[in-house]
Chains A and B, each alone.
Chain A
C-alpha cells in the first residue's frame, strides 16, 4: 500500500482533480460555450484513441492501420445496448460488450498477423479494418449503411474526462512495467529481444489487444455523445486521423498524444469557418511540423513528477523555472548580439 502513495502519484491526483475543477468552473461561468464543449468531447475521444494507438505503435512498434475498426466495434456495441437500455447501466454494459468483442477480434487478427513485420502488418490490419466495416455494413442489428440514430446521449464531459484519466493510468503504468519494457525492446530490436529470450509474439499480442480494448472504450463514448453512428465513420480515413495524432505528438509519448489531439482539435475548430480551405491549411500545418520536428511535437518527452522526491523539491520548482527562463532569455540575447555584430 505504501508503495502506491508516493509524492508523484499524489501530484498526479492533485493535477487531475484540479484540471477537472478548472474545466467545470469554466463551463459554469460560461467561458466554455456549448459548441466548445462538443469540441472538447471530440478532442477527449481522440485523446483516448491516440493514446491507445500509441500503445501499439509507439511502445511496441507495431504499425496498425485498422484502429478505427476497434472504435467502430465499441461504438456499435455501446449504441445497440444503449438503445435497449438507456442510462448509465446501458453504457456500462455496452462498454463491457465492446471490450469483450474488440478483445476477441484483436486476438483473432493479432495471432496470425503479428508475425508479420512493418509494411506487411500495415496492409494486413488495413484489410482487417475494412472487413469489420463491411460486416457492420451488412448486419441487421447494426441497421446497415444507414447506421444507428437517436442513441441516448449518456456520456458527458465528466465521463469522458475520467475515461481519459483511466486510459492514461493504464497505458503509462504499462509503459513503465516489465512487460512494457519488453515491448519497447521489441520495438527497438526484435532480433536482439528474441535472442534475450523475450517471447516477442506474446508481448506484441498483449499490447495490440490492450490498445484495441481502449479504442473500443472511445467508441462507446463516441456513440453515447453524438447520437448518430454510421459504418463510414469507422473507415480507413478515421484510422489515418488517429495515426496522424500519434505521429504528430511523437511516437511513444503519451503527453505528445494528449497535446497533439488538443492542438489538432483546436486547429480544426478554428478553421470551421473556412470549410473549403480547411483541409489545405490543416495539411500544411502537419507538413510544417513534421519538417521542423520530425520526431513529433513532444519527441519522446513525458510529463512526469517522478523527479520530485520531497516537498522541498516542489518549493524549489519556481526558482528552477525562473533559472530556465532566464537562461533561455540570455541565449536569445546572445544570439541577437551576435547577429548585430
Chain B
C-alpha cells in the first residue's frame, strides 16, 4: 500500500516555480531519501505535503485519503508528521512541554504517557533534560527533541527535513542510527538530506531532485553507485 502518493504536483513561491509537475510515491514501511542541492525544492516539497504551503496543481494522497486541500491540523491527524528544517524547538518551553506540544493532536492521556516512554527509549538524553528550557540544549539535543516531538504525534509517515544540518559527524551518525531504529519500529520515513552519502546508505529507495524536478530515482544502492550522483553529490 502506498503511504504517500504525489501526482503532477506544482508549487509556486510568488513568481518562482519551485516544484514542477512532480510525481513520486512512498510505500508503507520504506525509508525514502530525497537528495539534491540547495534550492532544488526539497524543503518546499515537504512543506507542501504537510499542508504548510498551498499547491498550484496536482494531488497528494496518504493511505488512500486525499489530502491535497487539507489543513495541517487534519494532515497531522492522519499521521503525517513533519520535522521542519533547522530543528525549530520551542524555546521558552521546557523539554517536557515541547514533547507535550508534539502530542497536541492526541487527547488520550495514557497513550501520551506511552509515547513519552517510547521517545525516551529512542532519546535517553531527553529524559535527563526534562525540565530544562529547550533553548539551552545543544544542537544535537535540539535535533533529537525535534524528532522526539514529532514521534509524540504517533506518525505513520515521518517527514524529516535535513536532520543532519549543522551537526558534528559523530552526532550525524547517532541521529541516523536513531532514524533507522524509528523506522524499524514501524514508521515510514521520507528523508530530505544534503548529506547524500548518509541518506542513501540507510534508504530503501531514493530520488534526486534538481530545480523542482525529479531527475533520477532508484534503490539507495543504485543511486549511491550511479556516476551522476557520485559526481555531483558525493564528490567523487
Interface size on A, residues (CB 8 A): 18
Does A293 reach chain B (CB closer than 8 Å)?
no
Shortest beta-carbon distance, B71 to chain A, in Å? Answer: 8
Shortest beta-carbon distance, A33 to chain B, in Å? Answer: 42
Closest A residue, CB atoms, query B97: A181
**C-alpha spacing A194/B101, complex, angstroms:** 11
Interface size on B, residues (CB 8 A): 29
Binds A, one of B6-14, B80-88, B216-224: B80-88
Query: Of A188, A197, A252, which one neighbours B76 at CB under 8 angstroms?
Result: A197
Query: Of A181, A185, A193, A196, which one neighbours B153 at CB under 8 angstroms?
Result: A196
Query: Of B72, B84, B100, B146, which one neighbours A197 at CB under 8 angstroms?
Result: B72
B76 / chain A contacts, CB cutoff of 8 Å: 195-197
**Cβ contact within 8 Å between A192 and B104:** no
**C-alpha spacing A187/B91, complex, angstroms:** 10
A198 touching B52 in the complex, CB below 8 Å, given contacts A188-B91, A192-B89 = no
Does B73 reach chain A (CB closer than 8 Å)?
yes
**C-alpha spacing A197/B71, complex, angstroms:** 9
**C-alpha spacing A185/B23, complex, angstroms:** 34
Contact with B along A170-214 (1 / 0, CB 8 A): 000000000001101101110111111111000000000000000
**Cβ contact within 8 Å between A182 and B101:** yes
Closest A residue, CB atoms, query B106: A197
Does B115 reach chain A (CB closer than 8 Å)?
no
Closest A residue, CB atoms, query B133: A300
Shortest beta-carbon distance, A199 to chain B, in Å? Answer: 5
A197 touching B153 in the complex, CB below 8 Å, given contacts A181-B101, A192-B84 = yes
Shortest beta-carbon distance, B73 to chain A, in Å? Answer: 5
A198 touching B101 in the complex, CB below 8 Å, given contacts A191-B52, A192-B84 = yes
B187 / chain A contacts, CB cutoff of 8 Å: none
A300 touching B153 in the complex, CB below 8 Å, given contacts A193-B101, A194-B52, A195-B52 = no
Contact with A along B214-235 (1 / 0, CB 8 A): 0000000000000000000000
Query: Of B50, B73, B90, B149, which one neighbours A184 at CB under 8 angstroms?
Result: B90
Closest A residue, CB atoms, query B74: A197
Query: Quick one: which of B45-101 are within 8 Å of A by CB?
Result: 50-52, 71-73, 75-77, 81-84, 88-93, 97, 100-101
Does B102 reach chain A (CB closer than 8 Å)?
yes
Does B105 reach chain A (CB closer than 8 Å)?
yes
Query: Of B75, B82, B104, which one neighbours A198 at CB under 8 angstroms?
Result: B104
B89 / chain A contacts, CB cutoff of 8 Å: 189, 192
Looking at A182, A187, A195, A198, which has the most chain B CB atoms within 10 Å of its CB?
A195
A184 touching B92 in the complex, CB below 8 Å, given contacts A197-B77, A197-B105, A197-B153 = yes
- Overall SS of chain A's interface: helix
Query: Of B52, B73, B92, B93, which one neighbours A199 at CB under 8 angstroms?
Result: B73
**Cβ contact within 8 Å between B88 and A191:** yes
A191 touching B100 in the complex, CB below 8 Å, given contacts A197-B77, A197-B105 = no
B149 / chain A contacts, CB cutoff of 8 Å: 196
A252 / chain B contacts, CB cutoff of 8 Å: 92
A188 touching B92 in the complex, CB below 8 Å, given contacts A196-B149, A197-B77, A197-B153 = yes
B72 / chain A contacts, CB cutoff of 8 Å: 194-195, 197
**C-alpha spacing A260/B172, complex, angstroms:** 46
Shortest beta-carbon distance, A194 to chain B, in Å? Answer: 5
**C-alpha spacing A241/B149, complex, angstroms:** 39
A191 / chain B contacts, CB cutoff of 8 Å: 52, 84, 88
Looking at B77, B88, B102, which has the most chain A CB atoms within 10 Å of its CB?
B88
Shortest beta-carbon distance, B108 to chain A, in Å? Answer: 14
**Cβ contact within 8 Å between A195 and B82:** yes
Shortest beta-carbon distance, B145 to chain A, in Å? Answer: 11
Closest A residue, CB atoms, query B103: A196
B91 / chain A contacts, CB cutoff of 8 Å: 188
**Cβ contact within 8 Å between B93 and A185:** yes
**C-alpha spacing A184/B77, complex, angstroms:** 21
Closest A residue, CB atoms, query B149: A196
Shortest beta-carbon distance, B177 to chain A, in Å? Answer: 24
Given contacts A197-B77, A197-B153, 19 further A-B contacts (CB under 8 A): A181-B93, A181-B100, A182-B104, A184-B92, A187-B92, A189-B90, A191-B88, A192-B88, A192-B90, A192-B146, A193-B101, A195-B83, A195-B84, A196-B76, A196-B101, A196-B104, A196-B153, A252-B92, A300-B92
5 A-B interface contacts by CB (under 8 A): A181-B97, A192-B89, A195-B88, A196-B102, A197-B73
Interface residues of B (CB under 8 A from A): 50-52, 71-73, 75-77, 81-84, 88-93, 97, 100-102, 104-105, 146, 149-150, 153
